[in-house]
Amino acid sequence: MIIKPANRTLSVKEYYFSIKNKEIARLNAQRAAEGKDPIINLGIGSPDGAPSKEAVDAMCACAQKPGTHGYQSYIGIPELRGAMASWYKNWYGVELDPASEIQPLTGSKEGILLLSLTFLNAGDKVLVPDPGYPTYTSATLMCEAQVIKYDLVEKNGWYPDFEQLESMDLTGVKLMWANYPNMPTGAPARREVFEKLVDFARRHGILLINDNPYGFVLNKPQSILSIPGAREVCMEMNSLSKSHNMAGWRVGMLVGDADVIKEVLKVKSQMDSGMFRGIQEAAVTALNAGPEWYESLNEEYRRRQVIARRIMDLIGCTYDNEAGGLYVWGRIPSGMAVDWSDKFLYEAGVFLTPGFIFGNNGEKYLRISLCANVSTLEKAYEKIKAVCAR
């Protein structure tokens, strides 16, 4: 390489699942040469189902129209922002101004970096949950800000310990990430927790962002913006990836204070040139789905959850029967979860995510994704059973 990378790149590594997927591809090539089945990947949460037929048809119809393939507005078409506002009103009971309080995103992952770039200076501090989505940490580090971890532990139901938070040195803390319903633990959103988070953020002058893509998957939809006073200190990100089987379409949203949206747009408008109109029109159709869409989605995930929990039982893991979301999160009986994960990958040909990638508090946990059909999960169960028998 003729030049050195920027110093900020030294603080981050390639995303874990990017590395692991390359390893799994290499192992699959070897297994194919040996006449073995490919590895069953129960790692990343990429829904295997399709969006609604109506959403796909809307995208295809738009793609056939002349004049729809050029650059689009940085703030999305009015129909999309209107559909997002209606979705929030109908399902969360939250009124949003589609003209100023909604910013469409190419997935909520983009929003994490945009918010970080918009508000963080070198040396600023950010409260990040442990365990938590790794991108909260990497985006903070790439902005040369400081990560301040706050603990989520099983004995507290994976909710913040507010006494611990109050005892921390909060000097210089500018942002705080929360994620309820929670990934990876499956802890559901609770109004009383949202109320405490809003109060904490207000008293300490912190911008709190709730990352909320799992609200419709084995959960009751709730928004932190429904809490009185939340608009003053909170933003929320949401996504169609999990709720509408549109992970690869990259449709998300940042909602809340118009002044925050305006600042984020300054950065976003320098980074892309809008979302393809066909995807936007498909998202409008998807967001207008009735309750039967979500009921069907969850019926399937409940069937899968039963088998994923059987796998956890087989391994000897303990888990919370009340947890929702797209995963089952279980505590291993002994040792380190990464060793159990490697054992099942190399001996059973099944990949389960080790919890260490989400933080130190995840080192004793394994995560199973529900993004595989019932027969695949049953096959994974049998493969792991054979290894456990040995």
Domain boundary (287, 319, 347) is at 287
Domain harbouring 379, CATH code = 3.90.1150.10
Q: Do 88 and 226 fall within a single domain?
A: yes
Q: Are residues 296 and 255 in the same domain?
A: no
Average pLDDT over residues 271-279: 93
**Is residue 38 reached through a cis peptide bond, with omega within 30 degrees of 0 on the bond before it?**
no
133 and 78 in a common domain: yes
Buried b (16+ CB within 10 A) or exposed e, 316-338: ebebbeebbbbbbbbbbeeeebb
pLDDT value at position 65?
Answer: 94
Whether residue 104 sits in one domain with residue 230: yes
Query: Where do the DSSP E strands lie in the chain?
Result: 40-42, 102-105, 125-130, 146-151, 173-178, 207-211, 234-239, 252-256, 318-319, 327-331, 350-354, 365-369
The answer as to whether 63 is a domain residue is no
Residue 62 in domain: no
Query: Is the Cβ–Cβ distance between 252 and 237 less than 8 Å?
Result: yes
Nearest one of 312, 337, 326, 358 to 153, comparing CA atoms? 358
Position 14 scores a pLDDT of: 84
pLDDT at 55 over 90: yes
Decide which of 225, 259, 287 is a domain's last residue: 287
The CATH number given to whatever domain includes residue 227 is: 3.40.640.10
CB 128 within 8 A of CB 150: yes
Q: What is the mean pLDDT of residues 238-267?
A: 97
> Is residue 181 a part of any domain in this protein?
yes
**Per-residue confidence band for 12, with pLDDT thresholds at 50, 70 and 90:** confident
Half-sphere exposure of 310 (CA within 13 A, CB side): 16
Q: Say if 64 falls within a structural domain.
A: no
Residues 312 and 270 in one domain: no
% of the chain with per-residue pLDDT over 90: 90
What number is the average pLDDT over the span 366-386?
A: 97
Start-to-end CA span in the chain (Å): 48
pLDDT at residue 370 above 90?
yes
pLDDT at 8: 83
Predicted pLDDT of residue 7: 83
Which pLDDT score is estimated for 4?
86
Tell me if 109 is assigned to some domain. Answer: yes
- Domain count across the chain: 2
CA distances from 338 to 159, 345, 352, 357 (A): 24, 10, 9, 9
DSSP 345: I
Model pLDDT, residue 15: 82
Band of residue 390 on the pLDDT scale cut at 50, 70, 90: confident
Instruction: Please check whether residues 79 and 183 belong to one and the same domain.
Output: yes
Within 8 A by CB and 6+ apart from 169, the residues are: none
Q: Residue 13's pLDDT is what?
A: 81
For the segment 118-131, what is each residue's pLDDT rounded down to a tens digit?
999 999 999 999 99
C-beta separation of 58 from 262 below 8 A = no
- The helix/strand/coil state of 342 is helix
In a domain, 14, yes or no: yes
Q: Where are the alpha helices (DSSP H) in 273-373?
A: 277-287, 291-315, 337-343
145 and 274 assigned to the same domain:
yes
* Statement to judge: residues 247 and 322 lie in one domain: no
* Banded pLDDT at 191 (limits 50, 70, 90): very high
In this structure, are 108 and 257 located in the same domain? Answer: yes
Q: What pLDDT does residue 185 have?
A: 98
**Which residue among 249, 265, 287 closes a domain?**
287
Residues 6+ apart with CB under 8 A from 118: 263, 264, 266, 267
CB 59 within 8 A of CB 282: yes
352 DSSP 8-state letter: E
305 and 169 in a common domain: no
Using the predicted structure, report yes or no on whether residue 132 has a pLDDT greater than 90: yes
pLDDT at position 10, please? Answer: 79
Q: What is the mean pLDDT of the chain?
A: 96
**pLDDT tens digits for 13-44?**
888 888 888 999 998 999 999 989 999 999 98
**Looking at residue 44, what is its pLDDT?**
86
Cβ contacts of 1 within 8 Å, gap of 6 or more: none
Mean pLDDT of 265-285: 95
Average pLDDT over residues 189-206: 98
In a domain, 57, yes or no: no
Whether 272 and 370 map to the same domain: the answer is no
Residue 215 has pLDDT above 90, yes or no: yes
What is the band of 182 on the pLDDT scale with cuts at 50, 70, 90?
Answer: very high
Are 174 and 106 within one domain? Answer: yes
Give me the pLDDT at residue 389, please.
84
pLDDT of 122? 95
Residue 55 lies in a domain: no
pLDDT the model gives residue 77: 97
Residue pLDDT, tens place only, 337-347: 999 999 999 99
DSSP codes, 130-160: ES--HHHHHHHHHTT-EEEEEE--GGGTT--
* Model confidence at 248: pLDDT above 90: yes
- Structural domain including 258 reads 70-287
Does the structure show a pLDDT above 90 at 3?
A: no
Q: Count other C-beta atoms under 10 Å from residue 17's C-beta.
A: 17
